[in-house]
Copies of this chain bind each other. A is one copy, B any other.
Amino acid sequence: MKRTAFFISDGTGITAEALGNSLLAQFEKIHFERITVPYIDDLEKAANLVKRINKSAELDGEKPLVFDTIVDNTIRAEITKANGFMIDIFGTFLQPLEQELAASSSYSVGRSHSISNESNYERRIHAVNFALDNDDGARTRYYDEADIILIGASRSGKTPTCLYLALHYGIKAANYPITEDDIHDQRLPKVLRPHREKLFGLTIDPDRLATIRNERRPNSRYSSAKQCQFEVEEIELMYRRERLPYLNTTAYSVEEISTRIMVNTGIERNR
């Protein structure tokens, strides 16, 4: 079974996409054809989009689902003319919110992913630069500035997680790879000791680690089952001995790893 879903917005469409995808994820048996249409910010674009939705309805023989976060009432009214099943996100929630807050919505377009909150946006970009400059143990002398320092075996998920924390939440995240040369008697590497309160460990099932490393360097010692097993064991022993908080990332996405780190450490979103 196949169904078309449109995510429509006067801005980037990111919110409509996020909510739409969350709802569609609840219907696993249906295959959805997803179409994001951002920047529908005048009546002409809206009218053209209505035609596109109607055409899709005709081809499918069923109404497309239409998730929209359009702010402007006139443009939204135009979209409503389409032969689609409307999930009108702002239309549903804005009016009750206006009442509860006893305030008018500004009905300003595309605000949620703009740089309108400039200091907040700059903090995110700075955090991305910080993550890149302090990736993979490249530099350790700026750890004083870090909000968090992720540690773990090579390819346990540190870099994508740092980037996600930076890009989304403006969190300054450095990362340091623990290699076998770094571990003696399951103690923390010297360079990390002054920053113990910022450390968060990642670990991963050795089999999964070997698979990931094999994509990078096939049939090497680095990616062998034995080496992965050894590193993971030593590193986990070190985490426990040093009583560091840590997380097994095997079953988690970067979004989940990032969220769990924030829950676990109480680190603040910088927004």
- The residues of A with any CB-CB pair to B shorter than 8 Å are 3, 11-15, 18-19, 21-23, 25-30, 34, 36, 38-39, 63, 65, 69, 71, 85, 87, 89-90, 92-94, 96-97, 100-101, 103, 105-108, 110-116, 121, 125, 128, 132, 135, 159-160, 163-164, 167, 251-256, 258-260, 263, 269, 271
Contact = CB atoms under 8 A, between A and B. Distances in A.
A137 to B, nearest CB: 15
> How many identical chains are in the complex?
2
Nearest to A90: B23
A115 B12 contact: no
Contact of A97 (B23, B39, B103): B23
16 contacts: A12-B258, A12-B259, A13-B259, A15-B22, A19-B89, A22-B90, A23-B93, A26-B105, A27-B103, A65-B97, A85-B100, A87-B97, A113-B253, A125-B254, A164-B167, A167-B167
Given A22-B90, A92-B92, A128-B159, 6 more contacts: A12-B255, A14-B18, A22-B111, A87-B93, A121-B253, A125-B160
Nearest to A38: B259
